[in-house]
Amino acid sequence: MKHKLFGTQTGLPASRLILGAASFGERAGYGSAADEIPKILKAFADAGGNFIDVADRYQLGEAEEIVGKFIGSQRPNYIICTKYTRSNEVSPLSGNMGNHRKAMRQAVEASLKRLNTDYIDIYMPHFDDGMTPIEEISRGLEDLVKAGKVLYTGLANFPAWKVAAIAGMIPLAALQIEYNLMQRGADRELMTVAGHFGLGTMLYSPLAGGLPTGKYRKGMAGRLTHSSPGGYLEDAATKTIIDHLELIAENIGATPGQVAMAWTLTKNAFPIVGARTLAHLEDSFKALEISLSADHIGCLEKISNITMGYPYDLLQTVQKTF
């Protein structure tokens, strides 16, 4: 697997795909089988993958423990990104969660122990808690860098205006957002902000819980059926996207999921592959070998395009007059 620089604010060579460890463990219930996890990690490393994304909340801390055990003496060979906000406790007290300095300090120390390391490559709040001032978040992250506990800082699931404000305060390096053919809301501002500040952009859920693969059409189970007691229903927009993915896949000799993943790779970003089985990971690797034509990309862009809304729709009209 080829590597490329992680944004323009670092000189860090990162693998084009990031391995997501959210399903590593069983403390939270639904997750990867214990015998599959070592296979997934080894296959990722053997393919040249060097970037693993985790969080203290994933499997209530077990995911970090598994990643820490795997990297072991090979720690320098990996980029580890982990996140805090929601705590690894089942029912955390209010003082032990959120983005404030107390929660940040407790979380980073606990993550360092679980990951069995003395530094974290990329550290970020998992969500905007809506309460902690951006100045407190910024200075807290900056202090962790100064203390040598963290090398680079980032944000996950923050509104664009807060990303821009924090990037103006400290040397922010990373942004993690949800992005796939079914969820392109980040195109309104977040992708632009990331490009403007040169942030390494991490795309989670690039396969939208398996939706673009078409497996739910066949009655197969997956993350969406597990999280939706009433079952999953395909809306008209989703149907159109999957229909076209199936046509393109048939045309180029690939699967719909591989085509959807290959599309995310055209975005100058780093998709996070949340492989629950070795087969899932190997399927994602094949997307690296796909070269979509301009027509294929244009088609997928058009059918998944979103309305930009105010002021962008207005400005697009006005700016044509200049």
Instruction: Give the Cα-Cα-Cα angle 290, 295, 297 (nearest 5 degrees).
Output: 55
Q: From CA 220, how far away is CA 179, in angstroms rounded?
A: 23
Residues 200, 205, 208, 212, Cα dihedral to 10°: 70
Phi, psi angles (nearest 5°) of residue 12 = -85, 115
**pLDDT tens-digit map of 125-175:** 999 999 999 999 999 999 999 999 999 999 999 999 999 999 999 999 999
Q: Which amino acid, one-letter code, is at 201?
A: T
Pick the CATH number of 3-319 from 3.90.1150.10, 3.20.20.100, 3.40.190.10, 1.10.10.60: 3.20.20.100
Phi, psi angles (nearest 5°) of residue 227 = -95, -5
Active site residue 123: no
Q: Could you tell me if 47 and 282 are in contact, meaning their C-beta atoms sit under 8 angstroms apart? A: no
The mean predicted confidence, pLDDT, of the chain is 94
**pLDDT tens-digit map of 236-282:** 999 999 999 999 999 999 999 999 999 999 999 999 999 889 999 99
Q: What is the pLDDT of residue 291?
A: 94
Active-site annotation holder among 58, 84, 152, 204: 58
Choose among 178, 64, 84: nearest CA to 129: 84
Structure tokens given for 278: 């070795």
Q: What is the pLDDT of residue 209?
A: 87
Q: From CA 95, how far away is CA 232, in angstroms rounded?
A: 36
Please give the model's pTM, rounded to 2 decimal places: 0.94
Q: What is the pLDDT of residue 221?
A: 60
Structure tokens given for 120: 């974290």
Beta bridge partners of 152: 122
Q: pLDDT class for 12, splitting at 50, 70, 90? A: very high
